[in-house]
Amino acid sequence: MVTALILSGGTGTRLGANIPKQYIEVDGRPIISYCFETLALSRYIDAIWIVADEHWQEYIEQKVKPYDIYGRLRGFSSPGANRQLSIFNGLSDIRNELEKTGVMPVERGSVLVHDAARPLLSEELIARCAAGAEGHDGAMPVLPMKDTVYLSNDGVSVLELLDRSRIFAGQAPELFDIEKYYAANVRLLPDKIMSINGSTESAVMAGMDIAMVTGDENNFKITTMADLERFKQKTNI
């Protein structure tokens, strides 16, 4: 069993819009609906949970309904003080719901964590994550570094040149064994979880075996106005 957890609690301040970026409409539909549709139609996904501010939950439910032909949306969770706490809130609610329906821990499967602001998620990438996670505790898509990478302690002077063949840029979605991932995040409460920057970081800290799979250049995150324009161009192709 795989439950997709869409993170939609961000405010999108870097974009400079008057509403969170994931709710900006492109081609007559909000950005969040694009990844939702892919997940809702995926043969790898059994259920979908969304982390979003209560103010937006009814709006989201209405906007994604046309794409939820199999009725996979199960519910919403409230955002936390940072991204990882938002994930933890979602994990807690998913596990509580599964427990209510009698699903035993060994049967709870995996959680696929994705950003609402990554609208160009593909079925192929989900499939690579699912295949990559076999025999591991999870999987994450990565892209190789194309530019020369330097290390600096102060952002002013170069300390050393890094071997870019050993450095990768992580993407979403990230797939985890839900019980192991939940336990990994519980260990970081209440303070250490506030310093977590990436979804996989807590898993690695807990010693989980996370495989890397080939990412997708089109699966970019909308952060700036240039990203938004790039996405609009993609939808008009």
Q: From CA 67, how far away is CA 37, in angstroms rounded?
A: 5
With bands split at pLDDT 50, 70 and 90, how would you rate the model's confidence at 10? confident
The answer to whether residues 76 and 57 touch, using CB atoms and an 8 Å cutoff, is yes
Q: Are β-strands 138-144 and 174-177 bridged in parallel, bridged antiparallel, or unpaired?
A: antiparallel
Cβ contacts of residue 61 below 8 Å, gap of 6+? 73
Give residue 59's identity as a one-letter amino acid code.
Y
pLDDT of residue 126: 98
Give residue 37's identity as a one-letter amino acid code.
E
pLDDT per position as a tens digit, 95-147: 999 998 888 877 889 999 999 999 999 999 999 999 999 999 999 999 999 99
Cα 92–Cα 67–Cα 71 angle in degrees, nearest 5: 50
User: How many domains does the chain contain in total?
Assistant: 1
What pTM was computed for the model? 0.94
Q: Quick check: 12 pLDDT over 60? A: no
pLDDT per position as a tens digit, 172-209: 999 999 999 999 999 999 999 999 999 999 999 999 99
CATH code of 230's domain: 3.90.550.10
Query: How is residue 181 written in tokens?
Result: 């991932």
Q: Which domain does 86 fall in, by range?
A: 2-235
Cβ contacts of residue 82 below 8 Å, gap of 6+? 193, 194, 196
Write the Ramachandran bin of 166: left for phi over 0, alpha for psi from -120 to 50, otherwise beta: alpha
